[in-house]
Structure 1
């Protein structure tokens, strides 16, 4: 039986928020706006979870370094144009409320920038549920372990008593680099096969599957 963690750290996009398709389209439309080759869906979605500049290096490998700023701004315009249509995955709000009542520490570690995460927390009504959050404005981009290093230090929780939950290999590799157990959700940007290749603690089809597993652990 797996021991229950004390600290739950969640990625945001594709993990709590059903935003993968919108982010992918926004990357593709930004490329089209700038007259750049439009990446196929798989390449565009693979970069989700990285900081924006790192994401553009992968999605647009032929782009000059000096043009990354323009690409990031084009992406932001396209994302903001449809941001209000993005919603939480079913059951996320209720599950997070239950985790908090059960005594878990709750945190977010995301490739979003601070302004984007703060907007999302406000719009979703989840801001009050999290004890701490980290973004690429405060830390290095995934899979660097800095976000998890800071969060485990902040809460004073042993790494083995923490759990990273995310939908990408970037999330799971960050967890591995930080020596923190990780769980993958095959509902977002990266398929199950890629998540399983990182050898996390477990991979679930969706957030509901993770919730069923977590709530079955004795506390």
Structure 2
């Protein structure tokens, strides 16, 4: 399917697949801080915030390798562990974006199947689902330690197979180019959220069917067919 050939809107989807960090949860700045703190702990040059934001959505090991391409395996392990320490220290302070708690149940009640496709590891996502209480709203979730990292299509293809949805009636919703490229690679549609990790102008190059500045606007569009 060519996602640019005919763009369905609003209620033309059966399955909504959400990214987590920067899409449902306001965690971008915490991730950036944890990455930079990990590099600082090991005496490595601290990557700029833009580079840290770019790798959000990758599996953690791939993200750290992207930022430290010349590190050996042992150093990569230390960086990953240092990141986890710093992120877990602050994760209980994280909150969902405004509108997520209000609108996710309404989307569920409207008949949408819903899922999560995330670069988080299973343990990290489960902690966040427990913390927020929204786990029961999703038909299935898939994490980076259970499939190839975004933008490889395996994660999204698994969700589509699990739910029985058609790719042409599936919408991948995220805040990064990785999410939109994942949608393209899996033959689904993609919608962009401008309040997360990647600049909107970068995401627009991948031609999402729509883009939104806040979660309620996205939800109203899905519920009413209006942006």
Instruction: State the Cα deviation string for residues 40-60 of structure 1 (Å, max 9, x = none).
Output: 110011100100011012222
* C-alpha distance in structure 2 between counterparts of 1:184 and 1:131, whole Å: 22
* C-alpha distance in structure 1 between counterparts of 2:182 and 2:157, whole Å: 10
Q: Which of residues 161, 166, 173 in structure 1 aligns to 2:169?
A: 161
Q: Which of residues 16, 19, 24 in structure 2 aligns to 1:11?
A: 19
Whether the aligned pair in 2 keeps the contact of 1:195 and 1:203 (CA below 8 Å) is no
* C-alpha distance in structure 1 between counterparts of 2:200 and 2:122, whole Å: 29
Whether the aligned pair in 2 keeps the contact of 1:96 and 1:129 (CA below 8 Å) is yes
How many residues align? The count is 218
Give unpaired runs (5+ residues) of structure 1. Answer: none
Matching residue of 2:197:
189
Query: What aligned pairs does 1:52-67 form with structure 2 within 5 A after superposition?
Result: 52-67=60-75
Instruction: State the Cα deviation string for residues 60-79 of structure 1 (Å, max 9, x = none).
Output: 23322332111110000000
* C-alpha distance in structure 1 between counterparts of 2:70 and 2:45, whole Å: 9
Whether the aligned pair in 1 keeps the contact of 2:110 and 2:223 (CA below 8 Å) is no
* C-alpha distance in structure 2 between counterparts of 1:84 and 1:102, whole Å: 30
**Alignment partner of 1:103: what SS?**
coil
Spell out structure 1 runs of 4+ moving beyond 3 A: none
**Alignment partner of 2:12: what SS?**
coil
> For the aligned residues, what is the CA RMSD?
1.2
Residue 32 of structure 2 is aligned to residue 32 of structure 1: no
Matching residue of 1:173:
181
TM-score normalised by structure 1 residue count: 0.96
Residue 221 of structure 2 is aligned to residue 206 of structure 1: no
* C-alpha distance in structure 2 between counterparts of 1:60 and 1:210, whole Å: 36
Matching residue of 2:157:
149
| TM-fit CA distance, 1:207 | 1.5
Whether the aligned pair in 1 keeps the contact of 2:14 and 2:112 (CA below 8 Å) is yes
| TM-fit CA distance, 1:208 | 2.2
Give unpaired runs (5+ residues) of structure 2. Answer: 1-7
* C-alpha distance in structure 2 between counterparts of 1:207 and 1:42, whole Å: 23
Residue 56 of structure 2 is aligned to residue 45 of structure 1: no
